[in-house]
Structure 1
Amino acid sequence: MSLKPNHILLVKKICPILAIILMSSIGYGQTIHYSQFWGEVQFNRTITEKWSTELDLGTSYSSAESSPNMFEKNTQRSFRAWGHFYLTPRWKLSSFIAYYNNKDVPEIGQFESPEWRFALQGVYYFHKTGYTLSTRMRTELRHMKNEDDTYENVIRYRQQIKYLQPINSKVLRSGVVYAIASDELFFKSGTKVTGLSFFDRNRLNIGAGYLFTDDIQIEITYANEYLPRDNGNQIINAASLTLSFNNLFKNLNKKFLHKPEPVSED
């Protein structure tokens, strides 16, 4: 599918920005490199025209100094419970509460740090013909255990811009493949558990998704993260897999449990 002139112009504007960010990530903090895998399963349910809920189950694996295998160490398990409110066709407001089990993995400099997290989020969509551009704003309150076994509160702000382009259709529907690219900046308050630097990290994502049906989709992306840290900067190259289900149990109930009414004979 050929790109329209306005699409080409947008790509020309975005690509240099992403390239600069990526080269900056590679050029600085080359002290420590890790390969990781991030996996997540999402369950979404529509409540009303304006409201929906979501449950996310996640896990993370990492390589270590002793092995380049991205599945060498299980570093984190998590769950998040969301509430979404669709204020207008362009604005979606959300909030979640989450628990992250950050495991003790000395091989990558990570200590056991269980975390409760609460967040407020807003997403604004620039709906265009043939593609979608969005910007996401999120403020997080993180309640984390530090190395002294006491809990600290960390405030973190995240700003993301995301581009989504259907490949074999103009709209997202069953059977459609789409490309995605995003970049996100993280800023945080200084604490012992996360370090004193104001800039937390930069995350670049590039990948693709596929809709098996209107209610089941998969996304596979490559993520590059640059993390400035007090004990040495980190570069993370991660493979990310996200599987999403919309109204799963409702659809299963309709398919397997709903009994058709008997046809009356006159």
Structure 2
Amino acid sequence: MGRHRFYIFLFMVITLNQYAQTDELNQFWNEYAFTKDLSHKWALELNVGLTTSSTPEDSNIFCNITQGYGRLWTHYRPNDRWKVSFFYAYYFNKNVPELNQREAPEIRMAAQGMYRILKEGKCKLNLRGRFEDRHLHNENGYSETVMRFRFQLRTVYCFTNNENTKDAFYGFLSDELFFKSKSQVSGPDLFDRNRATVGLGYFLNDNIQIEVSYANEIMPREPVDQLVNAIQLNITFNNFLPNLIKSMAPKKTILE
């Protein structure tokens, strides 16, 4: 009887260990944003991004290109605390057999609201909620709709006295929860993932902002959970096109 209990206990340990296994990947996320202020309250933004990843056999974060995307935003600020945004995006998820990822083009639309809890002093605290309407091609060749809700808490601390201007230097920390609807392409689970991010930002000048960060993303999956360690590079060009045109325009000379 004692031997049977030992076998049962051993079986439970092996089973729990199997479900506790995690596939770990290292990735590089880079995104380039181009913004244009239309007025004091309205702005446009274009994002272009690319993701590369390691594989179980190769730890190089540039081993495979897994995703590329373009995203167009409209932003509206009704006051100094609220920011409401909408975007339309196309994501190309590349076929990567080494990661069990198949080619799945995606059209995504979203509505987002951000609220500034703390906006005075060196420390800022923001709440952000985003509702995404995703249309992904599944294995049967047709588009499947997946709804996803994301909730993020983000804090920013400015190390310099100046903010949002040349030579401003800051750090940031955030955590984001993802919830999704059940579908064939996205899986049966309601909870999608948790993403924690820590990083540093720097304003090169009034129009160029650079952020470098580390993101830890945990995705509960059956039978093996997925863990992603990602290095992020985000570069924002504010009013990029008007400034570029202005810099290239010939200067007028005054004739005496």
Q: Out of 76, 96, 100, which is 1:105 matched to?
A: 96
Distance, in Å, in 2 between the alignment partners of 1:249 and 1:170 is: 25
Deviation digits for residues 83-118 of structure 1, max 9, x if unmatched?
Answer: 001111100000000000001111111111100000
Partner amino acid for 1:176?
A
Identity in percent: 42
1:199 aligns to what? 191
Deviation digits for residues 15-57 of structure 1, max 9, x if unmatched?
Answer: xxxxxxxxxxxxx954200000001000000111111000000
1:34 counterpart = 2:25: yes
Equivalent positions of 1:12-91 (< 5 A) are 29-91=20-82
Alpha-carbon RMSD: 1.4
Q: Out of 118, 140, 148, which is 1:156 matched to?
A: 148
What SS does the aligned partner of 2:34 have?
A: strand
1:178 aligns to what? 170
Deviation at 1:60, TM superposition (A): 0.2
C-alpha change, 1:200 and 1:226, in structure 2 (3 Å) is same
Equivalent positions of 1:104-123 (< 5 A) are 104-123=95-114
1:225 counterpart = 2:202: no
1:241 counterpart = 2:201: no
TM-score (norm 2): 0.89
What SS does the aligned partner of 1:128 have?
A: coil
Deviation at 1:229, TM superposition (A): 1.8
C-alpha change, 1:231 and 1:79, in structure 2 (3 Å) is farther
Distance, in Å, in 2 between the alignment partners of 1:119 and 1:44 is: 18
Does the aligned pair in 1 maintain the 2:33–2:235 contact within 8 Å?
yes
Distance, in Å, in 2 between the alignment partners of 1:232 and 1:112 is: 21
What SS does the aligned partner of 1:251 have?
A: helix
Q: Out of 221, 244, 252, which is 1:252 matched to?
A: 244
Does the aligned pair in 2 maintain the 1:29–1:234 contact within 8 Å?
no
Does the aligned pair in 1 maintain the 2:122–2:159 contact within 8 Å?
no
1:24 aligns to what? none
Q: Out of 130, 134, 137, which is 1:138 matched to?
A: 130
TM-score (norm 1): 0.86
Q: Which is higher, the Rg of structure 1 or of structure 2?
A: 2
Distance, in Å, in 1 between the alignment partners of 2:110 and 2:223 is: 28
Q: Mean Cα displacement is larger for which, 166-175 or 127-136?
A: 166-175
Distance, in Å, in 2 between the alignment partners of 1:247 and 1:231 is: 47
Instruction: Could you tell me which runs of 5 or more consecutive residues in structure 2 were left unpaired when the two chains were aligned.
Output: 1-18
Instruction: Could you tell me which runs of 5 or more consecutive residues in structure 1 were left unpaired when the two chains were aligned.
Output: 1-27
C-alpha change, 1:105 and 1:197, in structure 2 (3 Å) is same
Distance, in Å, in 2 between the alignment partners of 1:52 and 1:115 is: 25
Deviation at 1:170, TM superposition (A): 4.9
C-alpha change, 1:66 and 1:167, in structure 2 (3 Å) is same
Distance, in Å, in 1 between the alignment partners of 2:179 and 2:82 is: 23
Number of matched residues?
237
Deviation at 1:65, TM superposition (A): 1.3
